[in-house]
Amino acid sequence: MVETMSGIPLDPTYGDGLQPGEYPYTRGLYPTGYRSKLWTMRMFAGFGTATDTNARFHALLRAGGTGLSTAFDMPTLMGRDSDHEWSVGEVGRAGVAVDTLADMEDLFAGIELDKVTTSMTINGPAAICMAMYIAVAEKSGVGRVHLGGTIQNDILKEYQAQKEYIFPPRPSVRLVTDLIRFTTAEMPRWHPVSISGYHIREAGSTAAQELAFTLANGFAYVEAAIAAGLKVDDFAPRLSFFFNAHSDFFEEIGKFRAARRIWASWMKDRYGATNPKSQMCRFHTQTAGVSLTAQQPENNIARVAVQALSAVLGGTQSLHTDSYDEALALPTEKAARIALRTQQIVAHETGAASVVDPLGGSHFVEWMTDEMERQANEIFDHIDQIGRGSMLEGVYTGIDDGYFVGEIADAAYRFEREVNAGRRIIVGVNEFTENDDDEANLLSIGHATEEMQIKRLDQIRGDRNDDAVRASLAALVEAAGQPDINLMPSIIDAVQTYATEGEIVAALESVFGTYVETAMV
């Protein structure tokens, strides 16, 4: 029996009318909420060489974690090798460096890949990373069918917000749908796309824009997968989402509730999904990195706690809490531990997990949920219109004509002007600024990583069979030229020859081309 701190027994849910677990899931996906399963506390990690991050993974697993979440460095995210001229200064800095299958082998050495679930945050080269992960697992005797986890693989928001694109949108979406088709057929435990609003919000959007752009991208992938020949109920149960938890508490909760309602009704009514799992908007949440201040950094612990609570009251399935020092650098171990402890306090001390959708029925929260939906609907109407009845085409058009980046930049500038004019208070930044002289101890990553990584890459290039590499890349180019062929098998073949990520990307670029954004303010 669940009771309050003072011994008052609690039902799993309160109120008449729509219940949690009932379509359209505004009040939550499951009738008993966190009583049956607490959210997953999935903390993102990655730095230096694969061996460095592997040690952090083992430490996390020893501490009781069951899920890993991998951050890659910028060259890896951009599909370039560590010895690319632009990689200088970036190798292993903002995440782990992965050039070849050998690095992926080091990254997951000693980890039972059929026991843990792994999240890989990568988009442009997602198919290549996925292929490497499969190859590592199968080399260690774990078949792909047993692999569980998530790959972000959400390329559309890259053009809109995060800007880690490689190829133009249409061939990139082909790679996304190839991966969806592949995992649907061969990897039933895998989530092939995590449709992400997080980066849209970080780039400056409003809450409603985050909600609407993200769900619109989701609709676009659904349309692309259906066009590629899949049935909606075959793949939609494996789609998942990733939202931001920012500081405006009730607005965020309204956003999460609206997300579930909108996704359910569109999947049912517009795309004909009949499996309830296809209609359920499952999401991961991360607290808002952009809200963290470099000034008086310890104050960020309080911000993160409030944001985490909004995600929990909004019904998130998993949560990453940011570390207080992230406005300054990658987190230290201590800062990351405090961030995890913050989640544990919300989970075990506050009672927030006792009752499902505890704010459901609040006049204000219900109004805010409706308002988020209303604003999102206006945006869907626009995208549908510019796509002439197709959300996929609407998203492509909005990328081409600068709609998304323009809307996001407008919102970011509006916010900045409000802060600057003092109409919006950020504690420690434009108000309450005294005693702003605390210095946080920061994690620093030296140049040794870059030298070691490049040396390792040279060694792999020297040891491998170059003829096999060339043959696999030629086969990949051939397959890429035929839109109906699923590229995953060719990419798996290529990574197994220790072709580098950069070489595989270059092969695909020779067919797909390279995306260059039109610079606009």
Per CB under 8 A, residues contacting another protein are 74-75, 77-78, 80, 86-90, 93-94, 162-164, 202-204, 290, 293-295, 327-330, 408-409, 412-413, 416-417, 420, 426, 429-430, 439, 442, 444-445, 516-517, 519-521
Q: Are 20 and 364 in contact (CB under 8 A)?
A: no
- In the bound state with another protein, the residue whose beta carbon lies nearer, of 112 and 416, is 416
Please state the closest distance from residue 128 (CB atom) to another protein, in A: 16
- In the bound state with another protein, the residue whose beta carbon lies nearer, of 430 and 496, is 430
Look up residue 341 and give its two tokens. Answer: 């402890």
Instruction: Kindly give the interhelix angle for 126-139 and 501-512, rounded to the nearest 10 degrees.
Output: 140
CA–CA distance, 335 with 315 (Å, rounded to integer): 25
Please state the closest distance from residue 325 (CB atom) to another protein, in A: 10
**Going by C-beta distance under 8 Å and a sequence separation of 6 or more, which residues neighbour residue 297?**
324, 325, 327, 328, 438, 440
- In the bound state with another protein, the residue whose beta carbon lies nearer, of 202 and 252, is 202
Please state the closest distance from residue 487 (CB atom) to another protein, in A: 24
- In the bound state with another protein, the residue whose beta carbon lies nearer, of 63 and 519, is 519
CA–CA distance, 8 with 23 (Å, rounded to integer): 30
Please state the closest distance from residue 521 (CB atom) to another protein, in A: 4
- In the bound state with another protein, the residue whose beta carbon lies nearer, of 177 and 217, is 217
CA–CA distance, 50 with 160 (Å, rounded to integer): 30
Please state the closest distance from residue 288 (CB atom) to another protein, in A: 12
Q: Which residues pair with 287 in a beta bridge?
A: 245
- In the bound state with another protein, the residue whose beta carbon lies nearer, of 1 and 521, is 521
For residue 431, give the 3-state DSSP assignment.
strand
Please state the closest distance from residue 295 (CB atom) to another protein, in A: 6
Q: 240 exposed, middle or buried (CB, 10 Å; 0-12, 13-18, 19+)?
A: buried
Q: CA quadruple 231, 236, 237, 238: dihedral positive or negative?
A: positive
CA–CA distance, 264 with 77 (Å, rounded to integer): 32
Q: What is the dihedral of CA 357, 361, 367, 370, to 10 degrees?
A: 60
Largest Cα separation within the chain, whole Å, is 72
CA–CA distance, 130 with 32 (Å, rounded to integer): 34
- In the bound state with another protein, the residue whose beta carbon lies nearer, of 101 and 329, is 329
Please state the closest distance from residue 77 (CB atom) to another protein, in A: 8
Please state the closest distance from residue 158 (CB atom) to another protein, in A: 8
- In the bound state with another protein, the residue whose beta carbon lies nearer, of 434 and 439, is 439
